[in-house]
Amino acid sequence: MDLLRKGRARAEFERFAAIHADGLLRSAYLMAGDRGEAEDLVQECLLRLARRWPRVRSMEHPGAYARRVLFNLALDDGRKRTRRRGELQAVETPHGGGGESSTVAALEARADLVQALGGLPARQRAVLVLRYFADLPETEVATILDCPRGTVKSSASRGLERLRQTLELSAPQALADDPQPKVRRTIS
Amino acid sequence: MSTHMERDLRLALAARAAELPSDASARLLSFDYRPHTPRARPAIALAATTVTAGAALAFSLVGLGTDAPRAFAGWSAAPTGVTRRQLQRAITVCSSQLANTASRERERQAGSGTRGWLPAPFPTAGWHIVLLDTRGPYTTVVSEVDRGRAASTCFVDRRGQASAGTAVGVRPPPPVPAGEVSYRSSGSTTTPPDEGSRQFSMIVGRTGAGVTGVTLRLNDGTRVTASRAHGWFLAWWPGSHGLSATEVTTATGTTVRRSVVR
């Protein structure tokens, strides 16, 4: 970060990075599915922001711009590594704790959902992460992904439908493996 | 589209994101800066945990630690720039403190098998920083989990001593209407007599969409500019003066709200 030599600009950028790095890192983790790749994405994102800091600092919403840079990087990265699609690791399910079956089922359902998310096209995944993790309205997601609001709406709808279908397809196998049938795969 | 699916997806994404430790970003940043500044390792002060249920006004206020003899020298009514050392120290110490509190809570829950008087389990993962307030040598870090269901306020004094309060609710608070603010916690405290019996007060709250500035008017006439980020605001001031009004600025101008806090 020696790109910012002036004290005040540097302090401002470091303050900005401290506030936004966590949210960016968790979003990157959901997009990439791997902590190392997520850290690389955030580092690259912060470097780009530092290079453009005099312009970024004057923006009305520099945090939104940071998200835009991050998701563009993630989408570029996703395109370069399409073979990795679907490799999003499952959420670890604790064993041996004597947990109730409903808790285990809920954790399994979460793991299935996250795994299914990893199988979506990167752009659909980005829409779902921005809408349902970052809690952003459709208009803001459209700005970040540089597309019409209608595209965000249809991508979210298609993504959710595809997740639902994927979970339905995986359910019979889960039922066959589990002596306690899962009546509803809803996280509680 | 399925409401269940949307809700499940929110929970699944939050759980997945919570796999990263609370200090993951601090480590990332400190790695980048390591050649410039050694990592500070200040002692961890005892965390006080205050819990509340639901979205009602909650009390959660930091204690002052041992900073009182020179209490508040350098305090500013408006947020000031943060130094790299302050930044690293605040993030490191506050992340460590949250991790320690979470660890103690996990042990307590495992030992007793119950939540005791807690209205909801203390979140042991998923914390992320949403706001940083710096006033001279003092830095305050606000972290949240699960869209504000729990929020922690960590105050770091000029010596790097931290103390914190945490409010835990049973569900995330309702969204704040656009152009409005809501108070999440407020209060004041006094340092022990041998440390000067100094008082300070703090207010933490949420901002709705479109809020571009929050200024607190105290009943002694002082105006304190709040720090804002990610839909949160925070301000603190020396003494126990109450709040008389809140100025909320949006693109259409500034409105003044009479305040009933304290």
In this structure, the answer to whether residues A16 and A80 fall within a common structural domain is: yes
Dihedral over alpha carbons B100, B102, B105, B111 (to 10 degrees): -90
In this structure, the answer to whether residues A63 and A130 fall within a common structural domain is: no
Cα(B236)–Cα(B223) distance, rounded to whole angstroms?
11
In this structure, the answer to whether residues A115 and A52 fall within a common structural domain is: no
Residue B178 CA neighbour count, 13 Å, CB half: 5
Grade residue A101 by pLDDT with cuts at 50, 70 and 90.
Answer: very low
Q: Do A11 and B84 touch (CB under 8 A)?
A: yes
- Which of A19, A59, A139 best probes binding to B when mutated, by most B CB atoms within 10 angstroms? A19
Residue with the two structure tokens 């439908």? A161
Amino acid at B196: G
Residues of the domain holding A54: 7-84
Mean pLDDT of chain B: 72
Q: What is the pLDDT of residues B49-98, one digit of tens each?
A: 222 222 222 223 333 333 333 457 788 999 988 777 788 788 888 888 88
Cα(A69)–Cα(A53) distance, rounded to whole angstroms?
13
DSSP-based three-state secondary structure for B200: strand
> What are the C-alpha distances in Å from A120 to residues A31, A80, A87, A126, B4?
10, 15, 11, 9, 19
Q: Do B20 and A110 touch (CB under 8 A)?
A: no
Q: Of the residues A27, A52, A84, which one is the last residue of a structural domain?
A: A84
On whether residue A187 sits in a domain, the answer given is no
Closest chain B residue to A167 measured between Cα atoms? B5
Q: Do B84 and A14 touch (CB under 8 A)?
A: yes
On whether residue B193 sits in a domain, the answer given is yes
Cβ of B17 under 8 Å from any chain A Cβ? yes
Max Cα separation, chain B? 62
On whether residue B29 sits in a domain, the answer given is no
Residue B115 has pLDDT above 70, yes or no: no
Q: What is the pLDDT of residues B152-169, one digit of tens each?
A: 888 887 777 777 777 777
* Residue B208 burial (10 A CB sphere; 0-12, 13-18, 19+): middle
On whether residue A89 sits in a domain, the answer given is no
On whether residue B31 sits in a domain, the answer given is no
Q: Running DSSP on this structure, what letter comes out for residue A33?
A: S
Q: Which residue has the higher pLDDT, B33 or B188?
A: B188
Q: What is the pLDDT of residues A24-75, one digit of tens each?
A: 999 999 998 888 788 888 888 988 898 888 899 888 888 889 999 999 999 9
Residues of the domain holding B173: 47-258
The separation between CA B247 and the C-alpha centre of its own chain, rounded to angstroms, equals 21
Q: What is the pLDDT of residue A27?
A: 92
Asked whether the ipTM of the predicted complex exceeds the cut of 0.85, the reply is: no
> For B16-45, what is the mean pLDDT?
52
On whether residue B140 sits in a domain, the answer given is yes
On whether residue A94 sits in a domain, the answer given is no
Q: Do A132 and B10 touch (CB under 8 A)?
A: yes
Stated pTM of the model: 0.49
Q: What is the pLDDT of residues A136-188, one digit of tens each?
A: 889 999 999 999 999 999 999 999 999 888 877 655 443 333 333 333 333 33
> In this structure, what token pair is assigned to residue A72?
């563009």
Rg (CA), chain B: 18
Q: What is the pLDDT of residue A169?
A: 67
Q: What is the pLDDT of residue A4?
A: 61
Domain count, chain A: 2
Q: What is the pLDDT of residue B71?
A: 58
Q: Running DSSP on this structure, what letter comes out for residue A84?
A: G
Cβ contacts from A onto B, under 8 A: 122
In this structure, the answer to whether residues A108 and A172 fall within a common structural domain is: yes
Q: What is the pLDDT of residue B225?
A: 95
Q: Do A11 and B83 touch (CB under 8 A)?
A: yes
> For B169-184, what is the mean pLDDT?
85
Q: Facing residues of B237 across strands?
A: B201
Cβ of A12 under 8 Å from any chain B Cβ? yes
Positive or negative, the Cα torsion across A93, A98, A103, A108? positive
Domain count, chain B: 1
On whether residue B24 sits in a domain, the answer given is no
Q: Do B1 and A92 touch (CB under 8 A)?
A: no
Q: Do B129 and A22 touch (CB under 8 A)?
A: yes
* Domain containing residue A161: CATH number: 1.10.10.10
- Which of A8, A15, A107, A161 best probes binding to B when mutated, by most B CB atoms within 10 angstroms? A15
